[in-house]
């Protein structure tokens, strides 16, 4: 089974520039997440989609960050304009239906991430 | 108070030793608990879920204490390949929004 795909893998931009990241979740996974992981920290949820609808974007800095999942499959995350503190790894994850069994726990599968450096 | 707190370490442990990590969480309504493993410059991967009754997977044992809002991970007979960052993870309190809340991670170094 193919995993979560992300591109680009690396991006270097100057502050105030714009940048976009792309994510293709595992086939059939309805739920998609974007996380930001700053060096030395755990990942922090930015936004959660269920199909093409937003479930939770409470931690997304909406003045500069935006995300969409128009057809309920691929997703893009955009930063405009970027700040120095946006330097981080941006991780995309997806979840499918919970597996069978007495203690079903759906697993979030993470993509390799996009490493962003803002200079 | 941070939502999920962990000792960042690093923990330097000789090969073959037993090591334990702890984690506390602040949201008493949290429903699900996990340990994820993250290798350097890689994405997090699920190590194991944590159940109220405690659960074991090979050399790894996880425990949950809901009353104390405390999660633990025990690694027995540690291997060099266990060197990684271990992330304590709590899943939301329901209502459809179920993004994961991660601790900062505990860095483990297994020494030969």
Q: Which residue of B has its CA nearest to A42?
A: B104
Q: How far is CA B61 from the centre of its chain?
A: 10
Q: How many other β-carbons are positioned within 10 Å of the β-carbon of residue A92?
A: 26
pLDDT confidence bin for A102, thresholds 50/70/90: low
Q: What is the pLDDT of residue B27?
A: 87
Q: Which of A35, A105, A113 sits opposite B49 (nearest CB)?
A: A105
What confidence category does residue A104 fall into, taking pLDDT thresholds of 50, 70 and 90?
A: low
Q: Which of B45, B87, B98 sits opposite A42 (nearest CB)?
A: B87
Cα gap A43→B34, rounded to integer Å:
14
User: End-to-end CA distance of chain B, in Å?
Assistant: 37
| Nearest Cβ partner for B96 among A55, A108, A110 | A55
Over residues A53-76, the pLDDT tens digits come to 999 999 999 999 999 998 889 999
Task: State residue A75's pLDDT score.
Answer: 97
Q: What is the pLDDT of residue A70?
A: 84
Asked if A42's CB is within 8 angstroms of B105's CB, the reply is yes
* Neighbour count for residue B28 (Cβ, 10 Å): 9
Q: Residue B5: is its pLDDT beyond 70? A: yes
Q: Mind listing the pLDDT tens digit for each residue in B12-68?
A: 999 999 999 999 999 888 888 999 999 999 999 999 999 888 899 999 999 999 999
**B47 vs B62: CA distance, rounded Å:** 10
Contact (CB<8Å) A50/B43? no
Chain A residues with CB-CB distance to B51 below 8 A: 103
Integer Cα distance of A16 and A24 in angstroms: 27
Closest-CA distance, B78 to chain A, in angstroms, reads 23
What residues have CB less than 8 Å from A1, skipping those under 6 apart? A26, A27
Of A36, A27, A7, the closest CA to residue A95 belongs to A27
Question: What was the pLDDT predicted at B3?
Answer: 87
């Amino acid at each position: 089974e193919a995993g979560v795909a992300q591109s680009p893998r690396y991006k270097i931009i100057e502050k105030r520039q714009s940048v976009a990241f792309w994510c293709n979740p595992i086939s059939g996974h309805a739920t998609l997440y974007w996380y930001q992981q700053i060096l030395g920290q755990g990942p922090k949820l930015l936004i959660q989609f269920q199909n093409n609808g937003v479930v939770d974007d409470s931690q997304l800095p909406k003045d500069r960050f935006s995300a969409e999942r128009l057809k309920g499959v691929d997703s893009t995350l955009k930063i405009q304009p970027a700040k120095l503190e946006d330097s981080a790894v941006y991780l995309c994850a997806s979840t499918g239906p919970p597996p069978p069994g007495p203690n079903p726990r759906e697993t979030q599968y993470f993509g390799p991430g996009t490493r962003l450096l803002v200079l | 108070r941070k939502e999920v707190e962990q000792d960042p370490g690093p923990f330097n442990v000789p090969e073959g030793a037993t090591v334990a990590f702890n984690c506390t969480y602040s949201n008493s309504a949290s429903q699900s608990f996990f340990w994820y493993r993250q290798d350097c410059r890689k994405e997090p991967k699920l190590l194991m879920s944590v159940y109220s009754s405690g659960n074991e997977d090979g050399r790894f044992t996880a425990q949950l204490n809901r009353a104390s809002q405390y999660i633990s991970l025990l690694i027995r007979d540690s291997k060099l390949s266990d060197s990684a960052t271990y992330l304590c993870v709590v899943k939301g309190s329901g209502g459809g929004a179920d993004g994961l809340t991660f601790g900062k991670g505990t860095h483990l170094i297994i020494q030969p």
